[in-house]
């Protein structure tokens, strides 16, 4: 038996940060996750890394992690490797971050998204992250795609 569900590819380190519960807000230029409110999303670990390094600044600055804590977190996120569906996360509401947002409210959102510069992006709450029992090899895809996960892999 298998369960079919929507899936989204995340580049590292973001896939691991989502599944380890550090990244609780996803940001996109369009409301990609809005139709999935109150549904479960499969998290695919893309082959490529995220091109920027703002995540490191957020982890060390806003979250106050030291180098050893960051490295341990990165290692945890790589436990299943790349090119796999690694876990599940529940999607909450999606909203547009206003261009005028600043100060502590913006900082809190940036901390939750592990990304700086969220104004005018669509933000979606992510909760209840869980790793699969084993990775499921999959080629990935653009935007949302559908994956069948064998029940024996579900947490």
CB 124 within 8 A of CB 70: no
What the block records as the tokens of 67 is 């180098």
pLDDT at position 62 is 81
For the chain, domain boundaries = 2-153
Percent residues over pLDDT 90 in the chain? 85
Percent residues over pLDDT 70 in the chain? 100
Shortest CA distance to 58 belongs to which of 88, 13, 11?
Answer: 13
What average pLDDT does the segment 89-99 reach?
96
pLDDT at position 66 is 94
Rounded Cα distance, 135 and 84, in Å: 6
pLDDT at position 10 is 96
pLDDT at position 139 is 93
Rounded Cα distance, 132 and 106, in Å: 32
Please state, rounded to an integer, the average pLDDT across all residues of the chain: 95
pLDDT band at 71 (very low <50, low <70, confident <90, very high): very high
Rounded Cα distance, 114 and 107, in Å: 10
Could you tell me which CATH number the domain at 2-153 has? 2.30.130.30
């Amino acid at each position: 038996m298998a369960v079919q569900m929507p899936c989204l590819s995340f580049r590292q380190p973001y896939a691991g940060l989502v599944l380890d519960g550090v990244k609780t807000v996803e940001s996109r230029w369009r409301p990609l996750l809005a139709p999935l409110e109150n549904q479960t999303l499969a998290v695919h670990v893309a082959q490529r890394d995220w091109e920027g390094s703002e995540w490191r600044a957020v982890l060390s600055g806003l979250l106050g992690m030291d180098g050893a804590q960051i490295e341990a977190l990165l290692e945890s996120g790589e436990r299943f490797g790349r090119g796999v569906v690694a876990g599940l996360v529940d999607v909450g509401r999606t909203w547009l971050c206003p261009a005028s947002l600043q100060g502590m409210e913006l900082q809190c959102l940036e901390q939750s998204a592990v990304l700086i510069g969220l104004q005018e992006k669509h933000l979606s709450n992510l909760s209840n992250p869980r790793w699969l029992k084993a990775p499921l090899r999959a080629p990935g895809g653009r935007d949302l795609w559908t994956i069948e996960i064998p029940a024996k892999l579900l947490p």
